[in-house]
């Protein structure tokens, strides 16, 4: 792995709403590529907005963000958090996929059942706080 291990969380908006099939195709490509790139993480969506947390080597995450920036399926990418980490929270998932309806985003208070004990509490809280922010935007 090149560079320190880091995690990056961003939110973005779908250019056009994606149905479950389109999301699943995107997810399959992501899992395959991420296994090669040493990237793990979680992708949360409601069909209209995305929240993605990427974990991996500094260079791999930077290269992934460049690819994501060119992807016409989403726009308005906002990096919300970037930090060096000691260990991965999502080490067993090359990309965990979680659908949460917009109406439920505000009500999420605990993702422990979805994530299990491997996810660091501060990362879980960061994701919950960001979900609350997205749910109250526009
Ligand atoms: C919200 C969202 C999340 C994505 N997550 C990943 C990912 O985790 N890994 C990945 O390889 N591609 C992901 N992609 C797809 C990439 O943007 C890109 O299409 C794919 O990596 C192929 O890149 P390339 O055509 O430049 O080779 C995602 C796309 C979107 C819209």
Residue 10 Cα to ligand 1 middle (Å): 13
Residue 67 Cα to ligand 1 middle (Å): 6
Residue 72 Cα to ligand 1 middle (Å): 10
Question: Is 132 a residue whose pLDDT tops 70?
Answer: yes
pLDDT tens digit sequence for 16-67: 999 999 999 999 999 999 999 999 999 999 989 999 999 999 999 999 999 9
Q: Taking the complete model, does pTM exceed 0.85, yes or no?
A: yes
Helices (H), the chain: 20-37, 58-69, 102-105, 112-115, 121-136
Which residue among 67, 93, 97, 99 is best mutated to probe the pocket of ligand 1, counting the most ligand atoms within 8 A of its Cβ?
67
Average pLDDT over residues 112-123: 93
Reading the block at residue 121, the tokens are 């509490």
Protein residue with its CA nearest to atom 2 in ligand 1:
68
For residue 2, what pLDDT is reported? Answer: 62
Question: Is 3 a residue whose pLDDT tops 90?
Answer: no
State whether the beta carbon of 74 lies less than 6 angstroms from ligand 1: yes
Beta-strand relationship, 5-14 and 40-45:
unpaired
With pLDDT > 90 as the criterion, what percentage of the chain qualifies? Answer: 84
Average pLDDT over residues 107-113: 89
Within 10 angstroms of residue 73's Cβ, the number of other Cβ atoms is: 14
The class of domain 5-136 in CATH terms is alpha beta
With pLDDT > 70 as the criterion, what percentage of the chain qualifies? Answer: 98
Within 10 angstroms of residue 111's Cβ, the number of other Cβ atoms is: 19
φ, ψ at 85 (rounded to 5°):
-120, 155
Reading the block at residue 80, the tokens are 């919300």
Cα gap 102→116, rounded to integer Å: 22
């Amino acid at each position: 792995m090149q560079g320190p291990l880091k995690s990056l969380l961003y939110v973005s908006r779908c250019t056009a709403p994606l149905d479950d099939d389109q999301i699943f195709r995107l997810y399959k490509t992501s899992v395959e590529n991420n296994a090669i790139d040493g990237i793990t993480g979680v992708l949360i969506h409601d069909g209209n907005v995305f929240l993605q947390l990427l974990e991996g080597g500094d260079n791999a995450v930077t290269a992934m963000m460049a690819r994501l920036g060119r992807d016409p399926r989403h726009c308005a990418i906002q990096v919300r958090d970037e930090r060096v980490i000691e260990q991965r929270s999502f080490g067993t998932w090359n990309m965990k996929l979680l659908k949460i309806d917009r109406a439920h985003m505000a009500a999420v208070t605990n993702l422990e059942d979805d994530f299990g004990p491997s996810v660091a509490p501060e990362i879980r809280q960061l994701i919950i706080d960001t979900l609350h922010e997205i749910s109250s935007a526009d």
